[in-house]
Amino acid sequence: MSIEKPVRFFASPGGTLSGRLRVPGDKSISHRSIMLGSLAIGETRISGFLEGGDSLATLAAFRAMGVNIDGPDAGRVRIQGVGLKGLKAPADALYLGNSGTSMRLMSGLLAGQSFDTTLTGDVSLSGRPMLRVVQPLISMGARIDTQAGGTAPLEIHGTAELAGIDYSMPVASAQVKSCILLAGLYASGTSCVTEPAPTRDHTERMLAGMGYPVQRQPGRVCIEGGHTLNGIEIDIPADISSAAFFLVGASIAPGSELLLEHVGVNPARTGIIEILQRMGADIEVSNERDVGGEPVADLQVRSAPLHGIDIPAELVPLAIDEFPVIFIAAACAQGRTVLTGAEELRVKESDRIQVMADGLQTLGINATATPDGMIIEGGALGSGCVDSHGDHRIAMAFSVAALRARGEIEILNCANVNTSFPGFVELAGDAGLLIDVR
């Protein structure tokens, strides 16, 4: 599937979710496994790799820079790492599709290469803000040209002159933090990042797992350039951001009971569980274990009556990708839900505040977009046609809404579901959510 071919979902109303399922591998960890595996010495063997458009774009980019990568084959990938200095100049610009994570993280590590690269993406990615990574990289000595407006294509002129930085991030962004840490691998001295609120720490965990020294304190991480990474085995857990659609679906569809297996429950990612539990959801976290340095658990969810809440601001970065489907939960809850402090949602794959408010209104819900969030009065979901604007998580969120809708929901521009959740329609169908693709 690609964004050029319009794909429409027709989600049938009603139904119940049941059974046990394992959603595809974590997108954030899949990207990092390719990047760090490529820069390591020796072989990295990955299982559970997400074979979605975004992580495949990262994989293709490293192949184009001369890294020998086998797979993916049923989630298995083998990388022959080339070491920190072993990448080669790609023949062409690196096309990263819809993937902000690829572009922002790779900007950091490409800034320190001995060759130049150009990074391009689709229409959505070409409109997303890149100065948040380019400005701190320039303070480290990087040479990067953006388009007017600070967007891609990015022209990165590699340099051996990067120097460490002590950077206090104005926004809580794991992509910005990771970008600076990856540039820090190539910089002289020490690079430190302080974050205004906790963000996902998969980069730090994987660097440490590969034997790279990382100094961590609460809210701050430092790395010194010039050490080496060693290839390892990486078992990637199921993506909690994909599990989120089923956590909400089973909560709102009466009579549901679902077990989601082997889900990554990194504490910087579990805001969705906490928010849903505060709304009254029945979610049990069991069998908690450590898998290669990342916490993993099984999640049992049963339907339950939800009520509206004021979402605490400190939970926003811990659930940043889950708000489209949290808005669906709020639409099905009794009373009012208020989200504030989430202006970042306006610069995701789409403006997730406006696009979700528009879609909810089409379905008869009283939803008011605010500059940094939304006010939603729970109510009865009707039927109608909504536009996902090519945003994968919005297409899946409105699919899940059908479980409680009075009639069919038609969703436009769904091709990008494949960027993060290949097989969504089939897996949802197995669990009890019927979606016709046309």
Choice from 204, 224, 321, 387 touching ligand S3P (CB under 6 A)? 321
Give the separation between CA 374 and CA 368, rounded to whole angstroms: 6
List for the chain the helix, strand, coil content (%; round to 5). 35, 30, 40
Cβ atoms of residues 329 and 251 within 8 Å:
yes
CB of 106 to ligand S3P, least distance (A): 12
28 binds ligand S3P (CB under 6 A): yes
Burial profile 383-412: b = 16 or more Cβ within 10 angstroms, e = fewer? bbebbbbbbbbbbbbbbbbbbbbeeebbbb
Tokens 């990554």 sit on residue? 264
54 binds ligand S3P (CB under 6 A): no
57 binds ligand S3P (CB under 6 A): no
256 binds ligand S3P (CB under 6 A): no
Give the separation between CA 151 and CA 137, rounded to whole angstroms: 15
Residue span 160-199 as binding mask against ligand S3P, x where in contact by CB under 6 A, dash where not: -------------xxx--x---------------------
Dihedral (CA of 228, 231, 232, 236) sign: positive
Q: Is 321 a catalytic residue?
A: yes
Number of amino acids touching ligand S3P (CB under 6 A) = 9
206 binds ligand S3P (CB under 6 A): no
Whichever of 175 and 270 has its CB closer to ligand S3P, that residue is: 175
Give the separation between CA 123 and CA 127, rounded to whole angstroms: 6
Whichever of 298 and 391 has its CB closer to ligand S3P, that residue is: 391
Cβ atoms of residues 73 and 101 within 8 Å:
no
Query: Exactly one of 321, 358, 391, 430 is catalytic; which is it?
Result: 321
CB of 110 to ligand S3P, least distance (A): 17
Q: Which stretches of 363-407 are DSSP H helices?
A: 392-401
Whichever of 297 and 320 has its CB closer to ligand S3P, that residue is: 320
CB of 174 to ligand S3P, least distance (A): 4
Q: Which of positions 365-424 make contact with ligand S3P (CB under 6 A)?
A: none
Residue span 100-139 as binding mask against ligand S3P, x where in contact by CB under 6 A, dash where not: -x--------------------------------------
406: amino acid identity, one letter? R
Closest CA to 21 of 325, 248, 263, 252: 263
Whichever of 165 and 403 has its CB closer to ligand S3P, that residue is: 165
Closest CA to 278 of 299, 307, 300, 318: 307
CB of 200 to ligand S3P, least distance (A): 6
Choice from 200, 205, 269, 404 touching ligand S3P (CB under 6 A)? 200
For residue 124, the Cα-to-chain-centroid distance in whole angstroms is 15
Q: Which residues bind ligand S3P (CB under 6 A)?
A: 28, 101, 173-175, 178, 200, 320-321
- For the annotated catalytic residues, the residue numbers are 321
